[in-house]
Amino acid sequence: MNLAYLSARILLAAAATTPGMESRHTADLLYHGNWLPVTPAWRLRFPDDAAVERYVVGETETRAWLRTVDATWIHWRNGRAGPFKVYVSVQPDALPDVFACAVDVLAAEGAPAFKVSRTARGLLRPDRMVAYCTSVEQTQRLVAAMSEALHDVPPHGVAFTAPARANPAVSWARDPPPSVASYAPSWRRWVCRKLAGYLHASDASDAAGRAAWARARIRADGVDTSTWAPGRRLWAG
């Protein structure tokens, strides 16, 4: 799997639907790219949130972190969650084994926080497990360690995030600063809303032209659109 190619295909598909669609709906289309569909069998398999947690967490030791929950996530933390994110994106059937392995890596690397989707629908999103880091350096160390530990696991893939060099099951990004959070609180929300706005602002006559315009505009904002990594000058000042 090539995450850059995946992101390009999702952007092109959204660009094709831009005429006649509101920008916020285009942003949602981009954001939900590569989510897996909910089936009746999946709902039967996970009738409630407790079933999801039993499936994912099982007997994995997580007492080194403080556990909390909200409507959609189970959170663990033992320090301040920084703005940098490392995504662990594998196929849902691989998640229990991967979760146990990932927790070992997170502990070894001193990651301060991570979260996992706690709903049946959330297990089908590609970004179902996310760790947080406080610096670029810590992020790159965790990406390398996680990528090596999960080298033979089937990836799912999180669009519009920067992949590990050799493993598309692991990628990273950076959330917007507080000054930007009112526009979009997370990296992918920010990227998707920006891209949607640019798609609608383009006067190109076809989807490819609109997608190219949106890529050029967000690249000017400071996003490396060859990898979808946040540039160092993004949000500077």
Supply the CATH number for residue 84's domain.
3.30.2430.10
Q: What are phi and psi of 108, to 5 degrees?
A: -65, -35
Q: Given 141, 156, 171, which residue is the final one in a domain?
A: 156
- The number of distinct structural domains making up the chain is 2
Residues 67 and 123 placed together within one structural domain of the fold:
yes
The distance from CA 73 to its chain's CA centroid, rounded to whole angstroms, is: 14
In a domain, 219, yes or no: yes
In a domain, 172, yes or no: no
Q: What is the pLDDT of residue 20?
A: 85
Q: What is the pLDDT of residue 89?
A: 97
Q: What is the mean pLDDT of each run of 10 residues along the chain (237 residues)?
A: 94 94 96 96 96 96 94 94 96 96 96 97 97 96 96 94 92 94 94 98 96 97 95 76
Residues 73 and 145 placed together within one structural domain of the fold:
yes
Residues 149 and 46 placed together within one structural domain of the fold:
yes
Q: 124: how many CB neighbours lie within 10 A of its CB?
A: 18
Can you tell me the distance from the alpha carbon of 30 to that of 199, in angstroms, rounded to the nearest whole number? 11
Q: Given 156, 173, 194, which residue is the final one in a domain?
A: 156
Domain that holds residue 202: 3-34+183-230
Residues 131 and 205 placed together within one structural domain of the fold:
no
Q: In Å, what is the CA distance from 232 to each residue of 3, 76, 80, 86, 135?
A: 21, 28, 22, 17, 12
Start-to-end Cα distance in the chain: 36
In a domain, 173, yes or no: no
In a domain, 115, yes or no: yes
Q: Is the dihedral of CA 102, 104, 109, 110 positive or negative?
A: positive
Q: Given 156, 171, 198, which residue is the final one in a domain?
A: 156
Instruction: Let me know the angle formed at the C-alpha of 63 by 59 and 65, rounded to the nearest 5 degrees.
Output: 125
Can you tell me the distance from the alpha carbon of 49 to that of 127, in angstroms, rounded to the nearest whole number? 17
